[in-house]
Amino acid sequence: MKRTLVLSALVAALGGLLFGFDTAVISGTTGWLESVFELSKSQLGFTVASALIGTIIGALSIGKLADKYGRRYVLFILALLYLISAVGSGLAWNWYSFLIFRLIGGIGVGGASVVSPMYIAEISPAKIRGRLVAVAQLNIVLGILLAYFSNYLISSFNLGQVEWRWMFGVEAIPAALFFIFLFATPRSPRWLIANNLVNEARIVLDKCGTDSGDIDMEVSEIQKSLNLEHHSIKEPFFTKKYRTPIMLAVMLALFNQLSGINAVLYYAPDIFNMAGFGKSTALLNSMGIGGVFFVFTIAAMAVIDKMGRKKIMIVGSIGYIISLSTTAWAFIKYGDNFTEAGSLIVLGSVFLFVASHAFGQGSVIWVYLSEIFPNRVRGRGQSLGTTTHWIAAAVISWTFPLIAEFSGGYVFAVYAIFMVIQLIWVITKMVETKGVSLEDIQKKLGIE
């Protein structure tokens, strides 16, 4: 792999690290936020979901901006949003100001979840594209792990009521580094060709590598896929010819959240408290979630370009069904009277659930969304899939504390049923994309 390709992928993936950190950091602050701002359970759910509302705005709006101004330019903007959110959330003077700064951070997360994997996919040769785009997912996981570790470390200092402020504020450091490192990355060659900057695109392709080893052939293939003599880059998106990738994107994104993954990430300490663990142990267990996530994401990266997206999804779906069913059974059986054995069953089941997600959906979603749309509508396609993901995430995260207050068991049972449906969908509808160039995927899906 070429040096420029690897470094550019790593820098773009920092958007994923901040995505993961921002997603998970609130899990260690829910008790403080509830106390300091005197929140009801409904208000707490809305507070957690406030960032997710921002992700919907970011994901929905960023595709057109990325198509118009370029992937790298938009990444600069997202880095600034992360920085503003981190500092503002840490200094928030009341609940409303906190919600605004979390909303700003959410816009950054939503935008990064669209643009980071899309940028990496567009600079990567097909044979290693899955692994490189999965670097963004690995960094999401690393961000989650860092957030859990940071929360645990800060809580050990016994800082009192300013503890939660430090938990949010430390995100400013990686946000600033992300902004600085972006100056060393090139613009996407596919975006450059779409905007008639072919000579610059040739230079980038030479530095990052091509599918065929022939730069002229690569440029020609990209130009054919854009086919701007017959298609405008501003052409309508919701048309019959794009129906297959649209349905694939929407269903994959919906299933990703109907697993309940964001409920587990946002409320991990609360779930472990419900299962009989104390506060300190619950935070440690949350770090364990981050560790499991990290290990199994690396495992997925090692095989995603060999096994393919579809087989990995099947393995992950089976793991989901087993772990969610077991967690549901444990909560229904033990209720408010967890024994040590019952607590350990929940711990093991949640770890298996996270492992299944990291190896399956978690590693596939951002790769797949960045692959299945033609060059001329990729920004809007990725935006659609990501927006669907974040709308579902907001609903799941907002409703979880309300439903879990009545029955933790039944909410996990519902997630398990959805994962049975996902398994059937993967087997019958999902199209394999491993080892196929972005331009040939377009042909495989029957798009002229």
pLDDT of residue 203: 92
pLDDT of residue 448: 65
pLDDT of residue 229: 41
CB proximity list for 286: less than 8 A, separation 6 or greater: 27, 28, 148, 151, 152, 268, 269, 272
What's the domain range around 406?
3-444
pLDDT of residue 230: 45
What does the radius of gyration of the chain's CA atoms come to, in whole angstroms? 21
pLDDT of residue 248: 96
Provide the CATH number for the domain around residue 99.
Answer: 1.20.1250.20
Structure pTM?
0.77
pLDDT of residue 279: 63
pLDDT tens, position by position, 178-218: 999 999 999 999 899 888 899 999 999 999 888 777 888 88
pLDDT of residue 393: 84
Which two structure tokens, joined as six digits, stand for 400? 């979880």
pLDDT of residue 166: 95
pLDDT of residue 156: 86
Contacts 24+ apart (CB under 8 A), 289-292: 289/144, 289/148, 289/264, 289/265, 289/350, 289/351, 289/354, 290/24, 290/141, 290/144, 290/145, 290/146, 290/147, 290/148, 290/149, 291/145, 292/351, 292/354, 292/355, 292/358
How many domains does one find in the chain? 1
* pLDDT mean for each 10 residues of the chain (448 residues): 88 88 83 87 81 86 86 94 95 94 92 89 86 84 86 86 92 94 92 90 89 84 68 71 93 95 80 76 74 89 91 97 95 86 91 95 90 84 88 83 72 94 96 87 82
pLDDT of residue 233: 55
